Structure 1
Amino acid sequence: MTRVLLADDETMMRAGVRAILGAAPDIEVVAEAADGREALDLALRHRPDVCLLDVRMPHLDGLGAAAELAKALPGTAVVMLTTFSEDEYIAGALGSGAAGFLLKSGDPRELIAGVRAVAEGGACLSPSVARRVISHLGDGQLGRGAAARARIAELTGREREVLGLVGAGLSNAEIGRRLFLVEGTVKAYVSAILARLGVKNRVQAAILAYEAGLVPAS
């Protein structure tokens, strides 16, 4: 069972998200918060698998809460759930250590799939957000590509293979099936890759994999 903490300052929005997640038999909302500070307190108490945080909240916004959660509970995946898709919010979310960025206007199925993905060690971006990220990566791609290839040069061949599949959005279990590795081994590879590349999470690693040309063609 994937345990979720939901933080949003709008009561009706929390009720709607809870109803959506309640339709999934493998997801349970274990706590709700109306602001970022309360979300931190409840997360430390309940230690959920996933925290769904609104970007704009009183006392402490979602980006600030995500950054603190990344330090206090590194095993908890954070997904930003928001109405706003401005570039500054996307960049802030990815920079704060969030594993995903979903829009409230998206398909409810995206929310359930996103929670499942990050709980399994993957990442999730709403399709419109993913297009914007990739579009920005395309600007000046050659220069960043060379820099990214230099950064991954120290990785082993197997680590680069795993990184490419992380960039393709696969979870640890899916990577294990693809490479005939047990999930624990994949998790160890991913942790080592993040540490050696100096990135905070799988989303940042995926962007680096894209820039370096490691993402397999779909």
Structure 2
Amino acid sequence: MPASISVAIKNSINREGLRRILTDACFDVSESVSSLEDLQLVFHSDPEQHLLVVERDLLHAQFEENLEIIQRDHENLRIVVLTSAFDFDEMIAVYAAGAYAYFPDDVPYLSLVAVLQMVSNGQKVASHEAVDFLVNMPMTSLRSVDSSVVGTFNFRERELRVLEFLALGQPNKAISRELGINESAVKAAVKAILRKLGVENRTQAAVMARELVSSTAA
């Protein structure tokens, strides 16, 4: 039995185009809506094979929370997020919230169909943008940062421990779990790390953290 899919995309032309593509690919498109509020998520086939293809902008600023709420209410749902602007940090957060795929919305339609087929079989899928980013990051494992780095940037002990996990590209939720502290404390530490490193976002901090860790291990 083909996987059933709910589609949530604001633009009616894009939504209808995707609906037709998926129907032609033998997916059961059970609903096609323009907002999360209109979603019914009625499973017309095996509920363990139901997918939700959702436009990133419909998840709004609190996208992690919204994804977690949807996943909590429909634990077997497999969510695929389409974005107009790929962002590595956001991708990490999306997967951490339980999504199965995070892809640019201009992905070739045959590639998207292939992604959805893999997701329907229970696989989590990454885009080539994510792979390219990871390939270009220096190899490392979790190592301690030495005292010279601590002195240079005036890191506190908690910030230093969070920095080591940033070097591995770990999301806040994973860092929180590993260190046994709440996510708000991790977010505060990340904010302080960004300021002390003089970088603008988490991705830049992760790259710089990996360089610091690699240099101390050399």
> Could you tell me the TM-score, scaled by structure 2's length?
0.56
| Alignment partners' CA distance in 2, 1:115 and 1:106 | 12
2:119 maps to 1:123: no
| Alignment partners' CA distance in 2, 1:10 and 1:76 | 23
1:90 is paired with a residue whose SS is helix
Aligned pairs, how many? Answer: 140
| Alignment partners' CA distance in 1, 2:37 and 2:92 | 22
1:56 is paired with a residue whose SS is helix
Runs (4+) off by over 3 Å:
44-48, 58-65
1:73 is aligned with what amino acid?
A: H
| Alignment partners' CA distance in 1, 2:71 and 2:59 | 20
**What is the Cα deviation at residue 89 of structure 1?**
2.4
Residue in 1 that maps onto 2:109: 108
| Alignment partners' CA distance in 2, 1:128 and 1:114 | 14
Answer yes or no: is the 8 Å Cα contact 1:54–1:82 preserved in 2: yes
| Alignment partners' CA distance in 2, 1:64 and 1:55 | 13
| Alignment partners' CA distance in 1, 2:142 and 2:102 | 26
Residue in 2 that maps onto 1:43: 41
Structure 2, unmatched stretches of 5+, are 144-177, 179-218
1:35 is aligned with what amino acid?
A: S
Answer yes or no: is the 8 Å Cα contact 1:3–1:28 preserved in 2: yes
| Alignment partners' CA distance in 1, 2:16 and 2:78 | 21
Q: Percent identity?
A: 15
Q: Deviations over 1:143-194 (max 9, x none)?
A: 17xxxxxxxxxxxxxxxxxxxxxxxxxxxxxxxxxxxxxxxxxxxxxxxxxx
Answer yes or no: is the 8 Å Cα contact 2:6–2:32 preserved in 1: yes
Answer yes or no: is the 8 Å Cα contact 1:110–1:126 preserved in 2: no
| Alignment partners' CA distance in 2, 1:89 and 1:4 | 23
1:23-102 aligned within 5 A: 23-25=24-26, 27-39=27-39, 42-43=40-41, 49-57=50-58, 63-102=64-103
| Alignment partners' CA distance in 1, 2:33 and 2:61 | 12
**What is the Cα deviation at residue 110 of structure 1?**
1.4
| Alignment partners' CA distance in 2, 1:20 and 1:61 | 30
1:125 is paired with a residue whose SS is coil
Structure 1 residues 50-59 or 74-83, which shifts more?
50-59
* Shift in alpha-carbon separation, 1:54–1:83, aligned structure 2, 3 A: same
2:7 maps to 1:9: no
> Could you tell me the TM-score, scaled by structure 1's length?
0.56
Residue in 2 that maps onto 1:167: none
**What is the Cα deviation at residue 59 of structure 1?**
7.0
Which has more radius of gyration?
Answer: 2
| Alignment partners' CA distance in 1, 2:123 and 2:83 | 20
| Alignment partners' CA distance in 2, 1:16 and 1:62 | 25
| Alignment partners' CA distance in 1, 2:62 and 2:33 | 12
Residue in 1 that maps onto 2:142: 143
Q: Deviations over 1:49-107 (max 9, x none)?
A: 10001110277865443211221112111111121202232122112110111211111
1:152-191 aligned within 5 A: none
Residue in 1 that maps onto 2:211: none
Instruction: Output the aligned Cα RMSD.
Output: 2.7
1:11 is aligned with what amino acid?
A: S
* Shift in alpha-carbon separation, 1:61–1:36, aligned structure 2, 3 A: farther
